[in-house]
Amino acid sequence: MGKTIAEKIFSEKSGTDAKAGQIVIADVDYVMVNDVTGPIAFREYDKIGTDKMFKDRMVLIPDHYVPNKDVASAEQAKEMRQFAKKHDIKNYYEVGKGGVCHQLMVEQGFAAPGRLIVGADSHTCTYGGINAFSTGIGSTEAAVAFATGHLWFKVPETIKVELTGKFRENIGGKDLIIKIITDIGVDGANYKAFEFHGPGVANISVSDRLTVSNMAIEAGGKAGIFPCDDLTREYIKDTVKGDYKAVDADPDANYCRVLKYDLSKIESMVAFPHLPSNGHPVKETDVRIDQAYLGSCTNGRIEDMRAAAKIVKGRHVHPDVRFLVVPASQKVCRQMLDEGLMQIFLDAGAFISGPTCGACLGGYMGILAAGERAVSSTNRNFIGRMGDKASEVYLAGPQVVAASAIAGKIVTPDQLEGC
């Protein structure tokens, strides 16, 4: 019997004949922590009582509460800064030089095909978009990885997703993953990996693949993995660190489930409160909003900013709406400036910030009051996720977020006529 991508990567990293369901001890290529999860990991590392540290594999990225919003977040950031300095950790990205952790892991070349990457953040599964097995861990596990360079894993079963066709205009990865999660539920992939296959994959941009992989966790998945192809290699060619080895599944690999989607039939989707699985076609909704939020590790890349700017250009944000634009990294900020996107958003009446997780996790800069509604390109819409427990978050792609900011209600771009 052949192997899935997950089984192949775990076989390589553990030096065993890894199969789904087995427990293996595997070497990790990189372990990432942020300003929330890092300080806990640092303290746990100190408890281990070892001088050994795999510092070249460690990546420290402050992003959740940056710039610091209060004394508590400033103390967290200070602890991370001091730990990096004490141990001479080179892969530390200070405010003004970095951005949202998952964007940085790709931009800075840590994520690459065939790698096994862990991060003390649930959306670490993002890097499957470029053929890595990446998954979230706890801070204690991160501390162990600091000290040993490896962790134990249960090799997951894999769900095969066969894709055909091509997205229609203004529809993309966010619409696909909301559709999948709606179909199978938030527990439909518990401790399983998604593998995406079929001729439709070649029609999905790498940016959209990263969006899809990012939200694999919202169906309970351990990872969401795309094959490595020419698009992947082109995307990472100027940034990837070191050599990498692409991994393909065997033709006779064993899958626990097969899902099939024709991309040409995917509609613009929006996930209603309070679960990412509560998806509806946008054209069947009528929801007034108070805020539109464009950004996050899910949809804060330059491709998302370009798509949104194309829609808002020459238009104005609805008078009852606050439109927040939050690029995912300093690099994306620069690209927006160089391409004139900043001017487009400013002329439309949007607020633009530097890179931060911000309101995505209910941090700051965009917190919702009781009764307020936001349409957001982020990844979760749980009760109280972006503010008061009586607020509501609707998840959608960047095109819908931009169109909704103009219309004052959740709409698709082609519903904007006259706005």
Task: Report the Cα–Cα distance between both ends of the chain, in Å, rounded.
Answer: 57
Q: Three-state SS across the chain? A: CECCHHHHHHHHHHCCCCCCCCEEEEECCEEEEECCCHHHHHHHHHHHCCCCCCHHHEEEECCCCCCCCCHHHHHHHHHHHHHHHHCCCCCECCCCCCECHHHHHHHCCCCCCCCEEEECCHHHHHHHHHCCEEEECCHHHHHHHHHHCEEEEECCEEEEEEEECCCCCCCCHHHHHHHHHHHHCCCCCCCEEEEEECHHHHHCCHHHHHHHHHHHHHHCCCEEECCCCHHHHHHHCCCCCCCCCCCCCCCCECCCEEEEEEHHHCCCEEECCCCCCCEEEHHHCCCECCEEEEEHHHHCCHHHHHHHHHHHCCCCCCCCCEEEEECCEHHHHHHHHHCCHHHHHHHHCCEECCCCCHHHHCCCCCCECCCCEEEECCCCCCCCCCECCCCEEEEECHHHHHHHHHHCECCCHHHCCCC
Res 419: pLDDT: 56
Is residue 387 predicted with pLDDT exceeding 90?
yes
Give the domain-ending residue among 217, 237, 262.
Answer: 262
Q: Indicate the pLDDT class of residue 104, thresholds 50, 70 and 90.
A: very high
CB 102 within 8 A of CB 297: yes
Res 117: pLDDT: 98
Same domain, 355 and 241: no
Same domain, 228 and 354: no
Same domain, 64 and 95: yes
CB 196 within 8 A of CB 4: no
Is residue 418 predicted with pLDDT exceeding 70?
no
Same domain, 258 and 275: no
Give tens-digit pLDDT for 23-68. Answer: 999 999 999 999 999 999 999 999 998 999 999 999 999 999 999 9
**Mean pLDDT value across the chain:** 96
Same domain, 239 and 312: no
Instruction: Report the DSSP pairing between strands 192-197 and 157-164.
Output: parallel
Same domain, 56 and 124: yes
Res 363: pLDDT: 86
CB 338 within 8 A of CB 40: no
Report d(CA 400, CA 259) in Å as an integer. 26
Same domain, 73 and 116: yes
Q: What is the mean pLDDT of residues 363-371?
A: 93
Same domain, 137 and 172: yes
Is residue 256 predicted with pLDDT exceeding 80?
yes
Which residues have a Cβ under 8 Å from the Cβ of 23 and sit 6 or more positions away? 152, 153, 154, 155
CATH number at residue 73: 3.30.499.10
Is residue 310 predicted with pLDDT exceeding 80?
yes
Residue 45 structural domain: 5-262
How far apart, in Å, are the Cα atoms of 161 and each of 9, 19, 45, 164, 255? 19, 19, 39, 10, 10
**Predicted structure pTM score:** 0.95
Q: What is the mean pLDDT of residues 234-243?
A: 95
Report residue 27 as tokens: 């070497």
Res 417: pLDDT: 73
CB 113 within 8 A of CB 132: yes
Q: What is the mean pLDDT of residues 256-264?
A: 97
Q: What is the mean pLDDT of residues 300-322?
A: 97
Q: Report percent pLDDT > 90 for the chain.
A: 96
Same domain, 275 and 248: no
- CA proximity to 101, closest of 84, 118, 78, 124: 124
Q: What is the mean pLDDT of residues 106-122?
A: 97
Q: Indicate the pLDDT class of residue 292, thresholds 50, 70 and 90.
A: very high
Give the domain-ending residue among 262, 285, 309.
Answer: 262
Among 67-71, 185-189, 341-345, which range has the highest average pLDDT?
Answer: 341-345
Give the domain-ending residue among 262, 291, 313.
Answer: 262
Q: What is the mean pLDDT of residues 342-348?
A: 97
CB 255 within 8 A of CB 159: yes
Same domain, 29 and 143: yes
Number of domains in the chain: 2
- Per-residue burial over 343-376, b if 16 or more Cβ lie within 10 Å, else e, is ebbeebbbebbbbbbbbbbbbbbbbbeeebbbbb
Choose between 257 and 1: higher pLDDT. Answer: 257
Bin 244: left if φ > 0, else alpha if -120 < ψ < 50, else beta: beta
Res 14: pLDDT: 96
Same domain, 278 and 199: no
Res 92: pLDDT: 97
Same domain, 289 and 159: no
Give tens-digit pLDDT for 163-204. Answer: 999 999 999 999 999 999 999 999 999 999 999 999 999 999
Report d(CA 289, CA 273) in Å as an integer. 13
